Structure 1
Amino acid sequence: MLREFTVLGLTSFGGPVAHLGYFRERLVLRRRWITEQGYGELVALAQFLPGPASSQVGFALGVHRAGVLGGLAAFLAFTLPSAVLLVLAALAAPLLDGQIAQGLVAGLKVVAVAVVAHAVWGMARTLTPDLRRGLIALGAALAVLLVGTGWAQIAAIALGAVAGLVLCRAGVESMSDRLSIPISRVVGAACLAVFAVLLLGLPVLAVLAPSQPVAVADAFFRAGALVFGGGHVVLPLLETAVVGPGWVSSEQFLAGYGAAQAVPGPLFTFAAYLGATIAPGAEGLLLAAIALVAIFVPGSLLMVGVLPFWGALQSRPSVRAIVRGANAAVVGILAAALYDPVMTSALVDVSTIGLAVVCTVLLIVVRVPVWAIVIIGAGGGMLLSAF
C-alpha cells in the first residue's frame, strides 16, 4: 500500500484529472485492486463531494483495500512528497524562475495530455460501451465545456444519473463484485457530524480565541470544504484567504502556484507552500502543517461519512442504473477536461503538440510505463525551452 501510493506521489504530475489516469493505470489495470466499474463509481462519488477529487479517490482506494488505516496510509504517501517539495520551494522561491524551469513545467503539462487521453480512452471503452451511455457522456462533456464551472461538473453527473435511471435500466448486472467498504454507518455518521462541527465551529473559535494558527486552520478548512472539483478550482478561494488579509503577497502566491505545477501529487498541497510563506522559520513550518491538514480533512471526512451508505445502496438495480449514467457522465467530464484545461494550457505551439503526440503514442500504442513518459515529457520540455 505505502509503496504503491508513494510511487504515485512521486510520479503523478498534471493535476487531478491526470491523477485519475495514473490511479487507473497502476491500481486498476496493473494491480487489479478494484474493478473498472468500481473505480468509476468512486470517481463519480468524489465528483459529487467537495474537496480534492483525486485525493479523495486515492483515499477511498486505500479504504477499499485496507480500511481507514489504509486510507490514511494512501493519503500520506500520495500527499507528503509534493507537500515537502513545496515547503522547500517556499524557502527557495527565487530559484524557481528561469527558462529551464519554465520548460520543465511545460513538459509536465504535455505529459498530462498523454495521461488524460489514455484514461479517457480506456474508461470510455468500459463505461460507455453502448450508444445511450455514449450520448450521456457527450452531453456531459458539452455541458461542462459550455458552462465552464465546478458546479457544471456536479450538474452533469446529476443529469447523467437521471438519464441512467431512465435509459440504462435494461440488462443491469447483479452486484457480484460489490464494492467493499469496511466502514460502519456509525463511523460514517460520526465523520459527517465532525465535518459539520468543524465547518461551523472554527469561524467561531477564530473570533473567540484569535491566533494565527486558528485563523489558518479556519481559512484552509473552509477552502477545502466549499470547493467542488478540486485542483485549480480552489485557487480563487485560497487567494482570497491568504492574499486578502495580507498574509501572502500576490507575487508570492503566483510563484507558489508556478511551483505547484512543477511537482507531482495533488494541487491542494499548495496549502503547504502558503503556510510556510506566511511566517518564517519554525512558525512557518507549523503553519504549513496546519494548512495542509486543514485543507484535506473536509474531503476525507465527507468520503468516510458517505462511503458506508453508498455501499448499502449500490446493489439495488435502480441505483445500478443511476451509476451507469453517472459513470458515463464522468467519462464526458474527463473528456472535457482533456480539452480544457489540459490541452489548452499545454499545447501552445507546434513543438508542444509534437511532443504530446509522441508521449501519447508511446503510452497508448507502445505501452511505455507512465514514469518513463514523465521523464520523456519533462526532458523534452526542457530541451524545447533551451532551443
Structure 2
Amino acid sequence: MSQTDEVGNKAAHREAAPGEVFTAFLKLGLTSFGGPIAHLGYFRDELVQRRRWIDEQGYADLVALCQFLPGPASSQVGFALGLLRGGPLGALLAWFAFTLPSAILLVAFAYGATALGGPVGAGIITGLKIVAVAIVAQAVWGMAKSLCPDRERATIALGAVLIVVFVAGAWGQIAAIVAGAIAGLYACRSAVAASTGHIAFPVSRGFGVLCLVLFAVLLVGLPIAAALQPSQPIAVFDAFYRAGALVFGGGHVVLPLLEQEVVRTGWATPEAFLAGYGAAQAVPGPLFTFAAYLGAVLGPEPNGIAGAAIALVAVFLPGFLLLLGVIPFWESFRTKQGAQALMRGANAAVVGILGAALYSPVFTSGITSPPAFALALTCFVLLTAWNAPPWIVVLVAAAGGILISQ
C-alpha cells in the first residue's frame, strides 16, 4: 500500500467516527469547567495529546482562527474538530454533546429559580449576582494581561471604554471593535510573526461563500422580518442571533450584548439576568448556554423549553456559519502581517468593552452594600490567588448571599 493510500484510508477513518466524536465531547461537556480558555486546554489534553485527532501545529492554527472570528471560540474549536474527525454529522454531534449538559442544568435552574422564595432563595440570588462581579473581574484581568501587554493595546482598550460609554447599545460595541481593529492595523504591527502550519478541512470555497451569504442574510433579514411581521419567536431568534454574531473575545463578552437584548427590552429582569449569569459559572461547558437560561425565563412567550431551544440555536448559529465560511480562505489570509495586527487591535478593544460591562450592569447591580463588596472580593481572591474551581466559588457566594440576606 502506498503512502498516499494509507493517508487516504486514515482520512476516511476519521470521517467515519461520529459515535467517537459524540462520546469524546459528551465527556468534555460534563467535565470542562473554567470558561473558554480552560476549555481549549481540555480539548488539547483529550483530543490532541490523548486521542491524536490533530497535531499541535494544526490545533494552534485552529485556535487562532476561532479566536479571530466572532462567536464562542471554544465551541467553534470543538465544532471544527468534530468536522475534521466525523464530517458534518461529527460537527453537529460535537456541538450537541458539548453543549447539552450545561444547557439542561441552566434550564433546570431557570425553573427552580422561579420556585425559590423566602430569605434562602433571595440569598442565593444575591450570591449569584455577587459572584458574577468576581468572575467578570477575573475575565477582564486575565484578558488584559494577555491581550493588552503594551501601551498601544492598553490605549486601544481605553478608547473602546470611552466609545461604549458615550455610544450606548450594540452599535457602540461594534464601533469600538471596528475602531480597535483599524488602530491595531497601524499600531500593532511590531513583533507579529506569521504562522506557518497547515490544516485542511473538507469544506469547499463555494460552500464557504454560501455560509457567509446565509450569515449576512440572517443578520440583515431577521430584523426586517421582525418589523414587517411582528412575531415574538422571530424577535427572540433575531435578538440572540445578533448577540452571537457580534461577540468578539469569547463567552464573557456576550454579557453586555445579551443584557441589551433581553433586559433593556423588558423580556427579563436585571435580577434574573445576573442570577442566571452567576449560575452559568457553576456548570461545565460553554458559557453561551447562558442563552438557554434566558430563553427559558423570558417574560413573553415563547419561553420555557421552546424559548431555551430557540435562544440556544440562535446564539450559536452565526459563529458556526462564519467558521464554515472562513475555513476555506483562512490558510492564505492568516499569514499576512496586517491580518494579525488587525486581530490584535480588535482583541484589545474587546477588553475595553468587557471592562465597561464590569461596572454596568454587573457591579452596579450586584454590589449594593459593604458586605456584598467584601463577598465579591473574597470570590475574586479565590478565583485568582487560590485558583479555586468556579463551581466552588459559586457555592461560596450562594452561602455568603444567604448570610447577607439574613
- TM-score for both structures, normalised by structure 1: 0.72
Aligned to 1:57, which of 61, 66, 73? 73
Distance 1:378 1:133, change over 3 A: same
1:1-387 map, 5 Å? 1-8=25-32, 22-28=35-41, 31=44, 42-43=66-67, 45-46=69-70, 53=71, 56-67=72-83, 72-73=92-93, 75-77=95-97, 79-81=99-101, 83-85=103-105, 88=108, 94-176=114-196, 183-195=203-215, 217-227=233-243, 228-229=246-247, 230-231=254-255, 233-234=257-258, 237=261, 257=273, 260-261=276-277, 263-264=279-280, 265=287, 266-270=289-293, 272-273=295-296, 278=301, 285=305, 289-290=309-310, 292-294=312-314, 296-385=316-405, 387=406
Partner letter of residue 63 of structure 1?
Answer: F
Distance, in Å, in 1 between the alignment partners of 2:147 and 2:135 is 18
Contact 2:123–2:402 (CA under 8 A) maintained in structure 1: yes
Report the aligned-residue RMSD.
Answer: 4.2
Partner letter of residue 6 of structure 1?
Answer: L
Distance, in Å, in 2 between the alignment partners of 1:152 and 1:205 is 24
Aligned sequence identity (%): 39
Distance, in Å, in 2 between the alignment partners of 1:180 and 1:347 is 49
Distance 1:182 1:372, change over 3 A: farther
Distance, in Å, in 2 between the alignment partners of 1:359 and 1:30 is 27
Distance, in Å, in 2 between the alignment partners of 1:254 and 1:115 is 17
Contact 1:165–1:321 (CA under 8 A) maintained in structure 2: yes
Q: Deviations over 1:102-156 (max 9, x none)?
A: 3222222332232233232222222222222222222222322343422222211
Distance, in Å, in 1 between the alignment partners of 2:112 and 2:393 is 28
Contact 2:130–2:366 (CA under 8 A) maintained in structure 1: yes
Deviation at 1:355, TM superposition (A): 1.0
Distance 1:37 1:128, change over 3 A: farther
Contact 2:169–2:260 (CA under 8 A) maintained in structure 1: no
Matched residue SS, 2:191: coil
Q: Deviations over 1:257-290 (max 9, x none)?
A: 577456424332146426897489xxx7567545
Contact 1:110–1:356 (CA under 8 A) maintained in structure 2: yes
Distance 1:384 1:74, change over 3 A: farther
Contact 2:66–2:76 (CA under 8 A) maintained in structure 1: yes
Partner letter of residue 40 of structure 2?
Answer: L
Aligned length: 352
Q: Deviations over 1:191-231 (max 9, x none)?
A: 23444566788899999xx9xxx956533332233444544
Matched residue SS, 1:341: helix
Distance, in Å, in 2 between the alignment partners of 1:272 and 1:73 is 22
Segments of structure 2 that go 5 or more residues without pairing to the other structure are 1-24, 49-55, 248-253, 281-286
Distance 1:316 1:82, change over 3 A: same
Distance 1:7 1:215, change over 3 A: farther
Segments of structure 1 that go 5 or more residues without pairing to the other structure are 13-21, 47-52, 244-249
Distance, in Å, in 2 between the alignment partners of 1:203 and 1:132 is 37
Q: Deviations over 1:242-261 (max 9, x none)?
A: x8xxxxxx7x8789757745
- TM-score for both structures, normalised by structure 2: 0.69
Distance 1:357 1:182, change over 3 A: farther
Distance 1:348 1:292, change over 3 A: same
Matched residue SS, 1:153: helix
Q: 357-366 vs 258-267, which deviates more?
A: 258-267
